[in-house]
Each structure stands twice: as structure tokens, then as C-alpha cells.
Chain A
Amino acid sequence: MKVGLFIPCYVDALYPEVGVSAYKLLRSLGIEVDYPEKQTCCGQPMGNAGFQGKSEHLVKSFDELFSGYDYVVAPSASCTAYVRFFHPRIAGHECEAAGKTVDLVEFLHDIVQVKSLPAKFPHKVSLHNSCHGVRELGLSSPTERNIPAFNKIKDLLKLVEGITVVEPERPDECCGFGGMFSVEETGVSAKMGLDKLKRHIATGAEYVTGPDSSCLMHMQGIAAKQQLPVKFIHVAQILSSGL
């Protein structure tokens, strides 16, 4: 199986260690990994701002770059969802690469179906269920719906030795990032982030973890400003902690 690794722009620039963790994890599972160097962004920042049309070229390039792989794996729930669900709409037709683009959690849980990991992380972590992970990719059951409860992120984290996984009150309420939303609706965005952070901190966890660094970045920015005592770590970093 050959996987094309998609490392979204902000992970590339701000959280390359998340990309390295994803790479190591995949390799440790015996998966062939390639990273097409001409990749840039999924296009969501433009779409979110109301300029989806400006990503037409990008969507085409993405498809050309990634359609040769068995799967395209990205350690970022929101970017994955954007590629999978919005690229075909922008292109106006099915996109081969978009159809096989999955988030790292989905890939490990559903496709590789990992049952054990050498990871150790003797800490209490509060799980951040990112909106697009929950409601677009189905990484966990949305609290709004009357369907049997599940959480693929939690399932994976349970494989880690020594970890304690907790969830905050209102486990899938939005943290208020929303890309351009956080720049345009500063007051509400920061308030949502602070409220969310306080609920994470109330669990007594040392770390907030999640499948999407953009939510973590938002909360990290607020935590730093308010000097709140909590650390942030991407799920991939925990799962790869023994590697």
C-alpha cells in the first residue's frame, strides 16, 4: 500500500513535528509513504473567506499530485474534510484524489485497523473533538444525534500505555477557530475559545489533544495570552510517542 502524505500549509509552517509524527507512525506500520513536494494547501482558507473560486487551480494540482496513491493521508481533520467534500464541488466533478483522502485517525482506525501500538504517554489528556472531525468525517458520534456513541480518536488513544483520556463538558462544542471567522469575529471567537479551554482545564488534564492542529493553535494562542496552565499536543504525537 502506498500512501501520499498531505501536510497542510499551517502544519507545514507551524507544526512540522506533527507531520513527522504522522510519517513515523505510518512507516512503523510498514506502510510506504511518499510526500509530493509540490503540495501547498487544501484551499479552505480561501473558501472560508468567500473566495472558493480562487482555489480552482490548486484543486486541480492536488488531484494531479495525489491521484496515483492508494490513499492520501493528512494529520488534520478539517483540511481532510475540505479536500474530500469540497474539492469535487469546486472542480465540478468527482476527484480521484479527494475520494481517497482520509484523516490520519480514520486511516489508522478504519483502514489499517491498528490493534496495538508501542506508544507510552503517562499523562492525563483532555480530548478535543474538532467540529469537522466530528460532523464531517465522523471521527466520533455528534452529541446532537441519536445514534450509538463512538469515538475513533479515543479508541486509538486507549492503545497508548499509561494514558488517561478524558473529555470536557460539552465534548463537541466548537472552540471558535473557524479560520477567517477568528479574524473577522474576534470577540465571539476568543470567547468561544476561552470557554472551551476552561472546560478542558476543568478536567484536570495536563494536555489538550486532538486530530486538528488548527483548533489547538487557536486555543494555544488564547492560553498563552491568558497564561493558562495547559499544554497542547496533536494525537499523532501521542500515538507515535514510542517511535
Chain B
Amino acid sequence: MSTQHAKKANEFVKLTDVVDRHDATFWAVRSKRDRMAHEVPEWEDLRAAADMIKKHTVTHLADYLGRFAENARRNGVQVHWAKDAAEYNAIVLDILRKHDVKKVVKSKSMLTEECGLNDSLMANGIDVVETDLGERILQLLGVPPSHIVMPAIHITREQVLECFRGHGIIEKNGRQAADSMGGDLKTLEAEADPTFLTRCARYHLRDNFMTADCGMTGANFGIADTGEVVVCTNEGNADMSTSIPPLHVVSMGIEKLIPDYKSMAVFQRLLARNGTGQPTTVYTSHFRKPRPGTEMHIILVDNGRSDILGNADHWQTLKCMRCGACMNTCPVYRRSGGYSYSYFIPGPIGINLGMLRDSDSHYGNCSACSLCCSCDNVCPVKVDLSTQIYKWRQQLDSMHHADPMKKTISEGMKVLFDHPGLYTSALRMAPVANVVPSWLAGLAMKPWCEGHDMPVFAKKSFHQLWKNGLKEDSQK
């Protein structure tokens, strides 16, 4: 009776120091977020507005997509439509080939992760360089992100140093980095100094910005009224990626649309406050038209989103703006880490999106929720995350993914709870015969007893106490 997530989480949780650090890191982010939320008196009104704007937009998606595409074209942007990951990857490859692109610099995009773009481009001989520092570290390490906003949060600076050494980044950029800080190269390197490592990465990335033939970005928002996209970063890497190469390709999920600037103002106030506890992202860049003499393309990607829209229980996941707050607050995510989840997006939203993507592969994440409902209360667009996870659990049996033990226990409970006579006699027997009633059977099982002592059965249940005195008392 252990799911895919539980098995990995049980391993992770043994590393007490790692778990405690992981938990403390994300709790600190949650705390920063709380302070920000409490500094804005109209915070709950903003959430309500964001919820309504997203509901409105995704339920009028065809209209807004049409308007967005028309305005983008009018701005001189080339607009493409991709129905799935394969079509999307093919469109990107086609654009890049037409421009004879050898190297792409990329700012962070979960959509490209979702579609497996990097592998597709590399397989076709195109060099892809992630330019978000966290993403670049992971790319060099060859591991996936463990969080959608802070993807490399689980990597230590010593690991970063090791990785940079292995890729010749220290050798090539270390001297310049140390000089720029007025420090000693050997000392800085020995200490795995974070500023030193960041500067090494900066020089390393600048080389790549200068030599790339194409810059790719995602889009945090697409504004229908103006046909522009908005990209939020803290490192300015999206701006570097788009300012130098002669080609800018934007990848955007169709649910990223919002109607107008007024709506944008609502989301701008929520996104960074809620995601990382910053009043705003350091860079909020609006891209409307190609720079003179260059090309700009926007690829609008469905890849299952239309199907989600038609799903009565789960369509509201389309409101998500990927701030990551539900992960930060999730007590299970904080103690099990991103890699315990089978889908590349972990935490409450990831459980739901993974099930929507491919339930056969990701049903093992549905156990990763104590139904504490904290995620529902931090979500800036009010996605009913925990209710949706509860609903998935109800569907597992018909998907043939229900745990047989849980099914047996539930069937036992049904018999007992539907028959009060049976229930009361089970209660009477429990303390005497030391028999565990079936609905509490889970508590007597080995896994529970690894962490807990068994609760002690009362000598007399409330039922018996009622019959032996309270009932008479109540009639006085």
C-alpha cells in the first residue's frame, strides 16, 4: 500500500538534514509571501479579480485567441498554432532551420519542458543554452527541475562549483570573475563563493548571448488587446536573449491569455508577491514587435489544454499562472522534494496537471496530499487544488489504479457503517478481544506502527456509556 510518490518520499525523508533544509527554505518563501500579502490591504479582492478574469478568459478563449493573433500579426509578429508537443517541436525546428540557427539561448519556459523541446533541438544538431541560472545549472548537470520557479533550489553551491569545473566554466571565466570582485581566485574557488560562481556564470552566459542565432522565451501573459507577451524574470536573461540575436521565438500555452492592460495590472501585483515574496519581479518585459531588421514569432500551443477546458472537474487548472506558491506551502512537497513526484511539475498543481497529462503514468502522485487545503488559500487565482485531488482519488478505481488494500478496507467500512448493529458489536469486542475494527485497521498495519504507537481502545465506547447511564441522564 505504497504509491510511487510514497516510495520515493520515504527514501527522501530519511535524509533528515536535507529534508529540514528543504522544508525551511520553502517555508521561508511562504513566510515572505505572507508578509507581502498582508501588506496589500486589497489582497483578497485582487485574488477574487484574478480568479474572475481567468475564468472569463478561458471560457471565451476562442475570441481572445483570435483577437490576440490578429493584433500580434498587425504588430509584424508571425503567429503559429501547435495542437500538440510534436507539432510544436516541428514548428520551432522549421523556423530555426529557415534561419540556419546553430545555437539558441533560452529563457525559462515550463512549456518547452512540457514538450521536450531541448531534446528535440539537440537531436537535430542545434545547441540549446538555458540562460536562467538555475536552469543552466540543471542543464549542465543533466537533471530536471525540482520546482517550477526555483528549479535548482535543491542544489548546493559546492555542487555548482563541481559542475562548473567539469564544464570548464571556472577555468575560462574564473580569473575575470575574481578580478571583478577584487578577490583571490583560489580562495573564492575554495569557498565556493556564491557571488564568484554567479559571476562565472554571467561571463559564461554573456559569451552565449553574443554568439547565439536565436533567442527563445516563454510568456507569463499574452495580452489580447495589444497582441504582446509579457515575460517576468529576476535575472534579465529574457531581455539578453532577445536583445542580441536576430530572431525571437515565443512559446506560449493558450491559457496564458488575459484580455487587456487592466487585467495585467491585477496579475502583475499578484505574481511575484505570491510566488517568491517579492513586490515585483526584477524584470517585467513586454514584447510587442520585432526589433528593426529582426523576426519575432509566437507559437500558441494547445497540447491538451482544450481537453482540460472540457473537463468539468478540472478545467480550473487552466487559471494557474505557475507562481509556485502551492508547492511552497504544501507540507508534503516541502518534506518530499520535487523528485518524489513523477510529473515534472510537482506539488498540488503538478498532481492535477500530471493526471490530466497522462493518468496511467502519474496516478502515483495522488497520495501526496493530506487534504490540508493550504494550497487553496494561497492560490492567487483560486484553483480548487485539494478538491480536485480528492476527486482524482474517487476516479482511481474506475481507472483500475485503486490500491486493492484500500478498496478492501473501504468495502469493510461500508458493511460496518451501513449496519449499526454490527458496528456496535464490533465496538464492544474491540477492547475486550483486542480486535481492531476494520475501519481503524490501517492503524494496526506495519507502516503506521513504524512512526506511531497504536492508540489505546477505550474500555467502554461512547455507545456503551450512553446506554449505561447518559441516556437516562438526558431524559431527566
Query: A and B: partners?
Result: yes
A-side residues, CB < 8 A to B, are 7, 9-17, 19-20, 23, 27, 32-35, 37-41, 43, 45-55, 57-58, 61, 131-132, 135-136, 142-147, 170, 172-174, 176-193, 195, 217-218, 220-222, 224-225
A89 to B209, CA, bound (A): 55
Least Cβ distance of A1 to chain B in Å?
14
- B1: nearest residue on chain A (CB-CB)? A184
With known contacts A9-B439, A16-B461, A144–B453 Cβ distance under 8 A: no
On whether the beta carbons of A14 and B2 are closer than 8 Å, the reply is no
Q: Which of B374, B439, B470, B474 touches A144 (beta carbons < 8 Å)?
A: B374
Among A46, A48, A184, A189, chain B packs the most CB atoms within 10 A around the CB of A184
- Which residues does chain A contribute within 8 Å of B1, judged by CB atoms? 183-184
The interface centre, meaning the residue of A39, A135, A144 with most chain B CB atoms within 10 A of its CB, is: A144
* Contact A192-B417, Cβ < 8 Å, known A144-B377, A170-B27: no
Of the residues B394, B420, B464, contact of A40 by C-beta under 8 Å? B420
Q: Which residue, B19, B413, B427, has most C-beta atoms of chain A within 10 A?
A: B413
For B396, list chain A residues within 8 Å (CB).
50
User: Are A16 and B460 in contact (CB-based, < 8 A)?
Assistant: yes
Residues of A within 8 A of B413 (CB): 41, 45-46, 54
Interface flag for B183 (CB, 8 Å): no
Q: Is the CB of A131 within 8 A of B372?
A: yes
| Distance in Å: Cβ of B38 to nearest Cβ of chain A | 5
Q: Which listed residue (A17, A135, A177, A179) contacts B374, Cβ 8 A?
A: A135
Pick the contact of B376 from A19, A135, A182 — CB < 8 Å?
A135
CB nearest to B466 among chain A residues: A35
Using A13-B437, A13-B457, A17-B458 as known contacts, say yes or no to A55 and B417 having CB atoms under 8 A apart: yes
Smallest distance from the beta carbon of B397 to chain A beta carbons, Å?
6
Bound-state CA distance A190–B335 (Å) is 10
Contact (Cβ within 8 A) B369 A39: no
CB-CB nearest 10 A-B residue pairs? A221-B452, A190-B451, A178-B370, A174-B372, A50-B393, A224-B453, A51-B410, A187-B10, A144-B377, A183-B442
- Which of B395, B423, B443, B462 contacts A16 (CB under 8 A)? B462
**In the assembled complex, B126 has its CB within 8 A of some CB on chain A:** no
Task: Point out the residues of chain B lying under 8 angstroms from A33, CB to CB.
Answer: 474
Supposing A184-B403, A225-B453 touch, asked if A14 and B418 sit within 8 A by C-beta, the answer is no
Closest to A183 in B: B442
Please, which residues of chain B bring their CB within 8 A of the CB of A20? 462, 465, 470
Tell which of A35, A48, A217 touches B470, judged by Cβ atoms closer than 8 Å.
A35
Residues from chain B with Cβ under 8 Å of A218 in the complex: 452
On whether the beta carbons of B442 and A180 are closer than 8 Å, the reply is yes
> How many residues on the B side are at the interface (Cβ–Cβ under 8 A)?
90
> Contact between A185 and B460 (Cβ–Cβ < 8 Å)?
no
- Identify A176's interface contact among B331, B376, B418, CB under 8 A: B331
Contact A51 B407 (CB under 8 A): yes
For A227, the closest partner residue in chain B by CB is B453
Question: Knowing A13-B440, A188-B9, A221-B454 touch, does A19 contact B417 (C-beta < 8 A)?
Answer: no
Chain B residues near A142 (CB, 8 Å)?
Answer: 374, 377
- Can you show 8 pairs from A to B with CB atoms below 8 A apart? A14-B457, A135-B372, A181-B371, A183-B445, A184-B6, A184-B367, A187-B6, A225-B453
Partner of B13, one of A10, A132, A191: A191
Enumerate chain A residues within 8 angstroms of B427, measured Cβ to Cβ.
12-13
What CA separation (Å) do A14 and B463 show in the bound complex? 11
- Contact, CB under 8 Å: A221 / B451: yes
The answer to whether B44 touches A145 (Cβ under 8 A) is yes
**Which residue of A39, A193, A222 contacts B420 across the interface (Cβ within 8 Å)?**
A39
Q: What residue in chain A is nearest B19 (Cβ atoms)?
A: A191
Residue in A15, A47, A225 whose CB lies within 8 Å of B390: A47
Bound complex: CA A222 to CA B473 (Å) = 37
Report the separation of the CA atoms of residues A183 and B370 in the bound assembly, to the nearest whole angstrom: 11
Complex alpha-carbon distance, A238 and B218, angstroms: 56
Q: How far is the CA of A208 from the CA of B139 in the complex (A)?
A: 47
Chain B residues, Cβ within 8 Å of A136: 373
Name the CB-closest residue of A to B8: A187
Nearest-Cβ distance from residue A154 to partner chain B, whole angstroms: 20
Cα–Cα, bound, A39→B427 (Å): 13
User: What is the CA–CA distance of A205 and B416 in the complex, to the nearest angstrom?
Assistant: 39
Known contacts A10-B440, A35-B470, A174-B370; A190 and B452 CB within 8 A of each other: yes
Closest Cβ of chain B to A63, distance in Å, is: 14
Q: Which residue of B lies closest to A81 (CB)?
A: B373
B410 touches A221 (CB 8 A): no
A178 to B34, CA, bound (A): 24
* Chain B residues positioned under 8 Å from A186 (CB to CB): 2, 6, 10, 447-448, 450-451
Q: Are B390 and A188 in contact (CB under 8 A)?
A: no
Residues of A within 8 A of B23 (CB): 195
Instruction: Judge whether A57 and B466 touch: CB under 8 Å.
Output: no
Contacts of B437 in A (CB 8 A): 9, 13
Q: Do residues A49 and B393 form an inter-chain contact, with CB atoms below 8 A?
A: yes
Q: How many Å from the CB of A70 to the closest CB on chain B?
A: 15
CA distance in complex: A172, B376 (Å): 14
B462–A131 touching, CB < 8 Å: no
CA distance A85 to B351 in the complex (A): 23
A180-B374 contact, Cβ under 8 Å, with A15-B458, A33-B474, A187-B9: no
B14 within 8 A of A: yes
- Cβ contact within 8 Å between A7 and B462: yes
- State in angstroms the CA–CA spacing of A217 and B465 once bound together: 21
Enumerate chain A residues within 8 angstroms of B455, measured Cβ to Cβ: 14, 217, 220-221
